[in-house]
Amino acid sequence: MYSGKVRDLYVPDDTAADAAASRLLVVASDRVSAFDHVLEPGIPGKGAVLTQLSLWWFDRLAGGDGGRGIPNHLTGDEPPAAVADRAMVVAALDMQPIECVVRGYLTGSGWAEYQQSGTVCGIPIVAGLTNGDRLPEPIFTPAYKAPLGEHDENITFERTVELVGVENAETLRALSLEVYGRAAAAAEERGLILADTKFEFGLDADGVMTLADEVLTPDSSRYWDAAAWRTGETPAERMASFDKQIVRDWLSAHWDGAGEPPTLPGEVVERASARYRELLVTLGA
């Protein structure tokens, strides 16, 4: 049905050509993307890690962590055996065209903007922070989801309202901040910092805003080692990453953004694969 940067979507065999499927099979591949490009080669075993982490977080956020249940798109059906370790059967939703980004720490593009203007995605931030510092409070910085091959666009909350309406925009913001807060607390208990993350939501058949896609994986989030963050003397030491930042860092150093990105070297692939697996073990997923 659809092949994205990392995931492939399938509909049941018995779905009529002119009918909308009520269920979808989402298969996570080993492909890796950065800066809106799919890179070569993939990361072995990555799809299985992403799926296991998403399922673990969906369960916790549905009430497994003792908090209120956040609706998600899982149907409870078992995926086909051939892809069981890297696939989920989900309900089809009316997906919102918003990437719901929550930032709890100053890093990445947020740090670059802060140095220039004292803001992150246009939001004023207290002066005197350094790269990797914790923000006074988590901030919601939405982005418009671009089609495959195009760049996502950071947008204001006011623009989000224009795209999805006031009620939906406020719901997206509230849910995103709640999920981030619960996940950050769980990560902290396990010696991790959830620096930032992004969520996607859709409306179900009853109009309920529902958590979808992947959730709190190394592809959608920045995880750091909390002990290293407290004691590290350099930004690189403080922000020791459990996600695909290894890939981003290498690409930033070896590609100017023009044309197609270079092939990832084996050492970077191996290091990224090891960090993905280490995060899975550290969280206990």
For residue 51, what are the domain limits? Answer: 2-91
* Same-domain status, 100 and 51: no
- Picking from 91, 112, 143, the residue at the C-terminal end of a domain is 91
* Same-domain status, 44 and 132: no
Task: Flag whether 274 is in a domain.
Answer: no
Query: How much is the mean pLDDT over the chain?
Result: 94
Question: For 80-100, what is the mean pLDDT?
Answer: 97
Q: What is the pLDDT of residues 40-88, one digit of tens each?
A: 999 999 999 999 999 999 999 999 999 999 999 999 999 999 999 999 9
pTM, two decimals, is: 0.92
* Same-domain status, 163 and 85: no
Kindly tell me if the per-residue pLDDT of 151 is higher than 80.
no
* pLDDT computed for residue 256 by the predictor: 94
Q: What is the pLDDT of residues 152-178, one digit of tens each?
A: 899 999 999 999 999 999 999 999 999
* Same-domain status, 118 and 172: yes
Domain count, the chain: 2
Per-residue pLDDT band for 36 (boundaries 50, 70, 90) equals confident
Partner residues linked to 144 by β-bridges: 98, 153
* Same-domain status, 110 and 162: yes
* Same-domain status, 172 and 243: yes
